[in-house]
Amino acid sequence: MKKLMAFDLDGTLLFNRVIDHPNVAAIARWQEDGNLAVCATGKSIFATKIALETTGVTFDYNVLYTGAVVTDADYNVLHAQTLPVSVVRACYERFKDEEGVVLFATTLTHDYRLTDGVGSVSDILPAFLPLAESEIDTQDYVGVPLWIPEDATRERAYQWILEEFGDTVDCHKNQDFLDIVPPQCTKATGLAWLVEYLKPAEYETYTIGDSWNDVPMHEWADHAASFSYSPDDVKAQTEVSVDHAWEFIDSSSAA
């Protein structure tokens, strides 16, 4: 049976927009052994391309927008789900004057910033285009990321999203972001779609990720790893916690 490992990016491989060489080398060894390496992130196509372009890593497949989109290595879309424009419009009306909140909206081609209540740029989503209010209804959206650095403000926004949209969307917590995506979209659903797409080949599945939006894929995988710095409730969902991604990659190759 072949092996497939899904990798979160921010806080797992990417730190200050760099992937450390030992992790780059370990991923290369994993792929040279005939295994699949899959990127599993909340980032868009646009943001993932920018994040990885100078790292030396090319994933075999990409599960993006927290499971709403699956692409091949060249970012050709294999599977995609979208959000109603009404969700983006409602978020704009709610957060346009909110201090401490930056509202983005992502399409299959671009990341747009709709509001800025912080006044700085996040390393997680450093590149974007402006989008005027008059243009909101002209796009097809896959995700709505909200950058909210302050814990209490982020929790209030999260509760509003749950109350406003109920089960018509999914909202995932990731570090100091909230990611609104189409309903029943998680990293696990994206990976499950990919494994079904790859049939008749069968894969033993591995996941590695540091944060709460990684929990569904950890629960889905045959083997999962978090980090020594992960929240305790994330570590509780994995077999092991490591200090560096390469430790899990190399031990999984040898298994």
Dihedral Cα 157, 163, 164, 167, nearest 10 deg: 110
Give the pLDDT of residue 126: 83
pLDDT digits (tens, 9 = 90+) for 91-108: 999 999 999 999 999 999
Give the pLDDT of residue 51: 95
Q: What is the dotted CATH code of the domain comprising 85-181?
A: 3.30.1240.10
SS (H, E, C) 151-191: HHHHHHHHHHHHHHHHHHCEEEEECCEEEEECCCCCHHHHH
Give the full edge-to-edge strand order of the sheet including 2-7.
77-80, 69-72, 61-64, 36-40, 2-7, 203-208, 223-227, 240-242
CA-wise closest residue to 240 among 220, 203, 210 = 210
Answer yes or no: are the C-beta atoms of 100 and 219 closer than 8 Å: no
Given CATH 3.40.50.1000, say whether it is the number of domain 2-80+185-254: yes
Determine the Cα–Cα distance for residues 115 and 137; give it in Å rounded to an integer. 15
Give the pLDDT of residue 7: 98
Eight-state DSSP code of residue 212:
G
Positions of the chain with pLDDT lower than 50, given as ranges:
none
Residue 63: CB atoms within 10 Å:
28
Q: Where are the domains of the chain?
A: 2-80+185-254, 85-181
Give the pLDDT of residue 159: 97
